[in-house]
Structure 1
Amino acid sequence: MTERALRLGTRRSKLAMAQSGHVADAVRQLTGRPVELVEITTYGDTSREHLAQIGGTGVFVAALRDALLAGEVDFAVHSLKDLPTAQHPELVLAAIPKREDPRDVLIARDGITLDRLPKGARVGTGSPRRMAQLHAYARSHGLEITCVPIRGNIDTRVGYVHSGELDAVVLAAAGLNRIGGTAELTGSLSLDHLSVDSVLPAPGQGALAIECPASDAELVATLAALDDPHTRAAVTAERSLLAALEAGCSAPVGALADLLADDPGHGQVVTEMRLRGVVGTTDGSTLVQLSTTGPVPTSHDEAMALGRELADEMLAKGAAGLMGERAL
């Protein structure tokens, strides 16, 4: 008798379907069982307001979690950066697969790169984090830009540049990589992958979260085979920083944990983790940007401690006062 198909809950967007499709393939290969995608519409998909206005934390997640708890799906795939930092008591983060490129990418007309944005350039982004860092970069490099709040799927956002309404948009590189067909989507537009020294990504950016009911011990154990320990340690530290700052995913907070090798180019033995964090006002006038380095965490608690340590330092430097500002 054929085992019933595992039901994977996913948002309906092109990117979400692509991400979930990759996970479904991995689970099929792992288990030999069929996996079917169950499309679910979330509040974040239907609301036309900007995320900062609707309180971005969890707006793309709640409906998927409701379906898990109701038994309508067996597991769900989220973009980790959309997931609230507080874990749901009845659900478990069964796997965090190997992370994609965490950087942001500037997609622009006429071969424009970040350092060559023309005077008055209109740059589209719906992220207060990106606005804060783009404005700060512009200030420090003598550039004059305007960040324009936008929403929509990847095609819609890139379309603003094709149409000439905007000079550039900033998106997550991971999303572009996962949907494929970047050349067809961007056409003559240029892609400038932004250095994390200039623009830190959102905590957890580039990583996926595979969530399922804690009560399904067999499925939890099965999905755990897809987990990447280094990715989990890095994003746990980043999300711990976000939680300790008492900020949500729509706050102007960036964070990235790097794994550092003791002999780059030769043994690549990972010995330390560097965690960088930034908080800023969306006009870029003030940034608090700090980093800390420590041994690679070997447990959840150690990764959490690394994030809290850096958050404490940032709060002592005035970070809390910068997070009340939101881009509307």
Structure 2
Amino acid sequence: MSPAPVRLGTRRSPMATSQSQRVADAVTATTGIPVELVLITSFGDVTKAHLTQLGGTGVFVNALRDELVSGTIDVAVHSLKDLPTTPADGLGLVAITERDDPRDALCARDGRKFGDLPSGARIGTGSPRRVAQLASLRPDLDYVPIRGNADTRLGKVASGEVDAVVLAYAGLLRVGRADHITDVFEPEQVLPAPGQGALAVECRTERAVPDDLGKLAAVDDARTRAAVTAERVVLAELEAGCAAPVGAYAECYDGRLRLRAAVVATDGSRAIHREGSVRTDGGDTGDPADANAAADLGRQLAREMIEEGADRIVADAGAQGGAPRPE
């Protein structure tokens, strides 16, 4: 007798359904368990308010979590960068899949690079993190808030409403819009959001046990889990939401985990950067113990940044509507 399909909850947006289907296919290929998508509309998908006005943290995930708790779905897939760092009661991450490209990408009219944009060019982005870091590189540009899915934002470039938009490279790849990319920001220029490019599979904790949904852990990638753990601990220690001007990026190589983090004032006028590394017991393949070492590294860097005033930058951004407090 064939096993009952796992009901995987996903937001209805093209990007969400595309990435959720990728997870579903990976689960089936790895475990043999059939998976069906259940489409769910979140408040963040239907409101026209900008992310910074919505409180940011959790605005795209709460509807999925409600369905998990009620038992309507068995698991939910989230973009990890949208997931609050504070765990939800009764829910846990059964898997974090191998990370896609975490960088930010520019999509500009006439194929222009970031450095080629004329002074005063209008750059559309809904992310205070991106605005803060981009403004520190090009304070002469005009950064304007925009909402909508990737096609909606790209349409604003085509129509002339803005001269360029900045989006996640991974998201553009997932919806087949990589051909619109005209420039890519390396982490040395713009640190990505903590968890950017990674997908998280969440379920009720009592189901994340062997011989049940615990089988979904087969698609967990230990290297990615260690890296994003370090990044998200930085965010948690700074008591910042996912819309805060905080960038963090960790990567595993040569038996070490390297973490870079930054907090930048929303006008780009002040920035605090920190970098550190720690040996990973699993080398380049990852190991469960690595997540603990990663968390310690993230905590250390965040506390060093707080000593330099990073928490005040986050608080100031929040007072301006750019960095909501966590839920």
TM-score normalised by the chain length of structure 2: 0.91
Is 1:154 the counterpart of 2:138 in the alignment? Answer: no
Q: 2:304 aligned to 302, 308, 313, which one?
A: 313
Preserved CA contact (<8 Å) 1:282 1:327: no
Distance 1:195 1:2 in 2: 46
Preserved CA contact (<8 Å) 1:214 1:220: no
Distance 2:74 2:129 in 1: 33
Q: Structure 2 counterpart of 1:321, which letter?
A: R
CA RMSD of aligned residues (A): 1.4
- What are the superposed Cα offsets for residues 58-104 of structure 1, whole Å, 9 maximum, x if unpaired? 11111101111111001110000011101123112000011000000
Distance 1:308 1:35 in 2: 37
Distance 2:138 2:275 in 1: 22
Preserved CA contact (<8 Å) 1:128 1:327: no
Preserved CA contact (<8 Å) 1:275 1:293: yes
Q: How does 1:85-96 map to 2 (within 5 A)?
A: 85-96=85-96
Q: 1:257 aligned to 250, 255, 259, which one?
A: 250
The aligned counterpart of 1:284 is 268
Q: 1:135 to 1:327 in 2, by over 3 A?
A: farther
The aligned counterpart of 1:83 is 83
Q: 1:178 to 1:50 in 2, by over 3 A?
A: same
- What are the superposed Cα offsets for residues 236-274 of structure 1, whole Å, 9 maximum, x if unpaired? 0000000000101011100000223xxxxxxxxx22111
The aligned counterpart of 2:38 is 38
Q: 1:233 aligned to 226, 243, 249, which one?
A: 226
Structure 2, unpaired ranges of 5+: 282-288, 323-327
Q: Structure 2 counterpart of 1:311, which letter?
A: A
Q: 1:145 aligned to 141, 145, 149, which one?
A: 141
Preserved CA contact (<8 Å) 1:27 1:223: yes
Secondary structure of the corresponding residue to residue 98 of structure 1 = coil
Secondary structure of the corresponding residue to residue 110 of structure 1 = helix
Answer with 76-85 or 23-32: which moved more: 23-32
Secondary structure of the corresponding residue to residue 284 of structure 1 = coil
Answer with 54-63 or 24-33: which moved more: 24-33
Shift, 1:181, TM fit:
4.7
Q: How does 1:151-230 map to 2 (within 5 A)?
A: 151-183=147-179, 186=180, 190-216=181-207, 217=209, 218-230=211-223
Identity %: 54
Q: Structure 2 counterpart of 1:192, which letter?
A: D
Q: Structure 1 counterpart of 2:249, which letter?
A: L
Q: Structure 2 counterpart of 1:74, which letter?
A: D
Aligned residues: 310
Q: Structure 2 counterpart of 1:170, which letter?
A: V
